[in-house]
Amino acid sequence: MKITMFTNTYLPHVGGVARSVKTLEDACRRRGHQVRVIAPEFDGAEDSPDVLRVPAIQHFNGSDFCVRLPFSHLIRDSRESFRSDLIHSHHPFLLGDTALRESWKLEVPIVFTHHTLYERYTHYVPLDSPPLKRAVIHLATDYCNLCDQVIAPSASIAELLRKRGVETDIEVIPTGIDAEAFGAGVGDRFRDRKGIPRDARVIGHVGRLAEEKNLLFLAEAVAGVLGSEPDTVFLLVGEGNARDKVLEILRQRAEPRQICLDGRLTGSDLADAYAAMDCFAFASQSETQGLVLAEAMAAGTPVVALDGPGVREIVKNGENGIMLPGDATALEFAEVLRRLMGDPARRREWAVAAQTTAESFSADRCTERMLACYERLVARKRHPLEVDAQPWEMLLRGLEIEWDLISAKAGAAAAAMGETPAEDSRLD
């Protein structure tokens, strides 16, 4: 099968979507399928014959995101050299629009994975406001209804999408992780490399250091533990523009030796980092799936987290970690961390349960489910683009595509003017 994936974020960008795309891409290739990824240019990206980089504005509005520029001839050339059997879109905007156009031009099925609660990222756009959030929700909902299949990374997101008016079939398929690789991490090796005492108690976190990840709350909670427990270390792995604010909060209560900051890690280095942690702390409520939670659990690391989408599907309260109410205070979060860090017997018990949980998120299981979905769609929609299609037919097809996209955007603009049932549907 030939699969083209369109994504607005891709490695070396640090983030869950970029890693999700790469994980699925690699797993499909291992099973003999051909995959082409179309993504924006990104600083430090390596050249690959399997990845088409389109021109983009780097560091849009001061963020670490890129915004593609409209150079359609590059994608047209790619379409002609790699005739896809199926297109998988990973965003509803920018290259997501292009993915729809390509699927309709080729008359092949299009799958969309709703990775993100987009209304929680509008602060990256100038003129952020409640109307903009409503418009974003409406756009994403309409985009789902223009696709042949929607993938929700968690049951929470599937339920939300149905409440918001998504009528396209929704299947829940999490992003898979390499559970075996994360389970093979060596914590002492990482501690020795970073100068963390082997007998220290380590609270850890991995992820993009961004405002929407609720990291200032997490920093307040962890700082409370570090200030009263001098033998505790906070290991923070990741990069992002919230880094300095997080460090400022931590340094008000903790000694420098209690803060270990590492940048973006991959492979065995990341697995070792997870294994070096005694517990994993997570406060984000903007997730659609808890990818880093599954990775931490694969390493045998229990989790303390706030209730939220993507979290409640992984954290089994009192079995593999603790899930606090979404409105818990930083003081309450700190107290739970303090109790768990002081109870090694419970951590060992939960570590075993955590690894069992992680097995259900293995890349093999999730990829097999995704490929089965692909095959059903391709079998159901076998209408390849006719090589000898007449110019008039091509024109009509193009006009139909653009009309649907314009209608979706007009609907979003109208939705921005007032509350809608879709905007009222929330997860927390």
- Alpha carbons 321 and 303: distance in angstroms, whole number: 5
DSSP, collapsed to helix, strand or coil, labels residue 174 as: coil
Tracing tokens 């024109």 back to the chain, one arrives at 395
State phi, psi for 84 to the nearest 5 degrees: -70, 150
What is the model's pTM?
Answer: 0.81
Q: What's the chain's average pLDDT?
A: 87
| Torsional sign, CA 371, 377, 380, 383 | negative
With bands split at pLDDT 50, 70 and 90, how would you rate the model's confidence at 132?
A: confident
- Alpha carbons 90 and 17: distance in angstroms, whole number: 8
- Alpha carbons 290 and 293: distance in angstroms, whole number: 5
- Alpha carbons 19 and 175: distance in angstroms, whole number: 9
pLDDT in tens, 208-246: 898 889 999 999 999 999 999 999 999 999 999 999 999
pLDDT at 219: 98
pLDDT in tens, 284-342: 988 888 899 999 999 999 999 999 888 999 999 999 999 999 999 999 999 999 999 99
With bands split at pLDDT 50, 70 and 90, how would you rate the model's confidence at 421?
A: low
* For the chain, percent of residues with pLDDT exceeding 70: 84
Instruction: Report whether the peptide linkage leading into residue 153 is cis, meaning its omega lies within 30 degrees of zero.
Output: no
